[in-house]
Amino acid sequence: MAKRGSVLRVVSKEELEGALAQGFSAPIEPLAGKPIACTDVRELVAAAHEQGAAAVCDLSVVGTACAAVRLGADVAFAPAAAAGKTLVWVARGEQSVADVARWLLSAGREAGDEEMALLEQRARAWRSSSDAAQVVASYLVCHPRVESVAYPGLRSDPSFEIASRTLENGFGPLVDVRLVGEDSWRRITCTPDDPMTQVARLEQRLRERLS
């Protein structure tokens, strides 16, 4: 199958909400839930299309790490830098985009240098924070005070296979952990900073039961 291209627009919150009210599926989030898991975007997009709905992906968490349009989505969106503005990827081509999404091709304005720089900055942060999260998750798996770890980048994670074909340049900054003797999950959001520094901080928190 040929890769699907997309047009990147900057639209207002109102323009996007207006489009989503016209026959789209519920927004698909590639990373969601607690414990965190990777969603099978391609499968959910296909299900939406079978039901006659246009498929939309919310990339607020993953940004360009999920090529949602290439996976079949008609529209994907993520916050822009400016308040009230949204970056929207719309499937390109008369035959590849649903009628309810086509008007977004002319809504708002074309993304410019500022938006492209923003996406590159977010992509760098994603890669670095994903690298840190991989280290943190691997550390937590072996910790005696930890019962379970959820991170799509772990080969033992139930969503690893899906994440491997859905996400690019890492598996994201979110690691969920359940401590021994606890029923609820705690979320750790890793940063692009040095992963060993983050591990050292976590060790201190674990001594305090992450309180």
* Rounded percentage of the chain residues whose pLDDT exceeds 70: 94
Average pLDDT over residues 67-91: 93
Tens digit of each residue's pLDDT (9 = 90 or more) over 48-74:
999 988 999 999 999 999 999 999 999
Residue 4: what pLDDT? 67
**9 near 111, Cβ under 8 Å?**
yes
> 77 — phi, psi (to 5°)?
-145, 155
E strand intervals along 102-141 = 109-110
**Residue 104: pLDDT band with limits 50, 70, 90:** confident
Tens digit of each residue's pLDDT (9 = 90 or more) over 163-195:
999 999 999 999 999 999 999 999 999 999 999
| Residue 3 scores a pLDDT above 60 | no
- Higher-pLDDT residue of 68 and 92 is 68
171 Ramachandran zone, left/alpha/beta (phi>0; psi -120 to 50): alpha
- Please name every residue paired with 150 in a beta bridge, in sequence order, or none if there are none: 176
Tens digit of each residue's pLDDT (9 = 90 or more) over 105-149:
888 999 999 999 999 999 999 999 999 999 999 999 999 999 999
Residue 211: what pLDDT? 53
| pTM, two decimal places | 0.90
